[in-house]
Amino acid sequence: MSEDLLAEITESVIGGEPETVIALTRQALEMGLEPMEIINQGLVPGMDIAGEKFSRGEFFLPHLLIAAKGMQNAMELLEPELVARKQTFKSVGTVVIGTVQGDIHEIGKSLVGTMLSANGFKVHDLGVDVRIENFVSKIEETRADIVGLSALLTTTMIGQREVIEALVEAGLRDRVKVLVGGAPVSQSWAEEIGADGYAEDATGAIQVAQKLMGAKS
């Protein structure tokens, strides 16, 4: 019975029905299933399968993102239950991401954020046109492992350097890895400003983020 329900949750994640994912998750809680069980045996397998389908070219980006949305919605429902049980779902790492000040390009940054969370990271997306101090305070507040800085304009990429400088000033630079990206950004720019990683697209961002987490632990 509970196995059937967990399988249904998995299916609804893959099938791209975020509303159903929520409804089934709620039902599972009401039936007395443990939140951890729901996550590990219902949601995560769904996300894994969606990811595999995407790599094989069977799924397109919207399929994957809708699956991630379903998972995310369910996680929000489960979070308070975990807290009540003094449990935490161990994420791969915590990421703060945003587009730097003066820049409103959102698509690439959000894609990177969503793909990271689909791959087990806990992501705090600050949006676009983010002030330096907002990056700093969010990193401090969430004890983030990685900060992702997106810049699409040649006039705003300088903002990536400024965030790094602010992190040094706030004494946080050793605690957080800096990942940069966006159209005018390159590996050489990343090196020039002393970032820890650069990726040209979302898939690359996941790989670099995973590597940075490895380097941290």
Partner 1 sequence: MSTSVSSISNPKLSLNILTEGDIRQIHSATLEVIESVGVKFPSPKALDILKAHGAKVDHETMVARISGDVIETCLAKAPPIFTLAAIDPDLDLPLDGNHSYLGTDGCGVEIIDAFSGECRRSNKQDVYDVARVADDLDAIAFHWVPISAQDCPPESRGLHELEAIWTVSKKHAQTETILDERQMRAAIEMAALLAGGKGELRKRPLLSIMQCTISPLAHDTGSLEAGLIAAEAGLPVGFMTMASCASTGPTTLAGNLVVGNAEVISALALMQMAYPGCPVYYAAAQTAMDLRTGAYTGGGPEDFLFGAATNLLADFYNVPLSMGAFATGAKEPNWQAAVDNSFSSFMAVSTLSDMLLGAGLLHGSRIFSYEMLLMDAEIWSILHAMFKGIDVNEETLALDAIREVGPGGTFLTHSHTVEHLGQLWLPTLMDRRTYSAWQVKRDGAREWALSRARQILSQEPLESLDPALKIEFEKIIETVEQG
- Amino acid in position 192: E
Q: What residue spans of 85-201 are helical by DSSP H?
A: 107-118, 132-142, 158-169, 187-192
Residues in a beta bridge with 124 = 96
Q: Would you give the binding string for ligand B12 spanning residues 85-114, x where CB under 6 A is met? A: -----------------xxxxxxxx-xx--
Confirm or reject binding of residue 58 to partner 1 (CB under 8 A).
Answer: no
Host H or E run for residue 94: strand 93-99
String of DSSP letters for 159-180: HHHHHHHHHHHTT-TTT-EEEE
Shortest Å distance, C-beta 130 to ligand B12: 12
For residue 42, give the DSSP letter: I
Here the tokens at position 121 are: 């990271």
Confirm or reject binding of residue 149 to ligand B12 (CB under 6 A).
Answer: yes
Nearest residue (CB) to ligand B12, 15 versus 204:
204
Confirm or reject binding of residue 32 to partner 1 (CB under 8 A).
Answer: no
Nearest residue (CB) to ligand B12, 89 versus 189:
189
Q: How far apart are CA 113 and CA 34, in angstroms?
A: 28
Which of 26, 80, 201, 211 is in the footprint of partner 1 by CB under 8 A?
201
Confirm or reject binding of residue 176 to ligand B12 (CB under 6 A).
Answer: no
Backbone phi and psi for residue 201, each to the nearest 5 degrees, phi listed first: -150, 180
Shortest Å distance, C-beta 155 to partner 1: 4
Which of 27, 88, 154, 207 is in the footprint of ligand B12 by CB under 6 A?
154
Burial of 174 (0-12, 13-18, 19+ CB in 10 A): exposed
| 28-36, 72-80, 130-138, 151-159 -> range binding partner 1 (CB under 8 A) | 151-159
Strands 177-181 and 121-125: unpaired
Shortest Å distance, C-beta 176 to partner 1: 25
Interface positions, 155-174, toward ligand B12 (CB under 6 A): 155
Confirm or reject binding of residue 182 to ligand B12 (CB under 6 A).
Answer: yes
Interface positions, 116-135, toward ligand B12 (CB under 6 A): none
Please choose, from the candidates 157, 167, 164, 165, the residue with its C-alpha nearest in 3D space to the C-alpha of residue 103: 157
Residues of this chain that interact with ligand B12 (CB under 6 A) are 102-109, 111-112, 148-150, 152-155, 179-184, 199, 201-202, 205
Residues of this chain that interact with partner 1 (CB under 8 A) are 57, 60-62, 102, 104, 107-108, 111, 154-156, 158, 183-184, 201-203
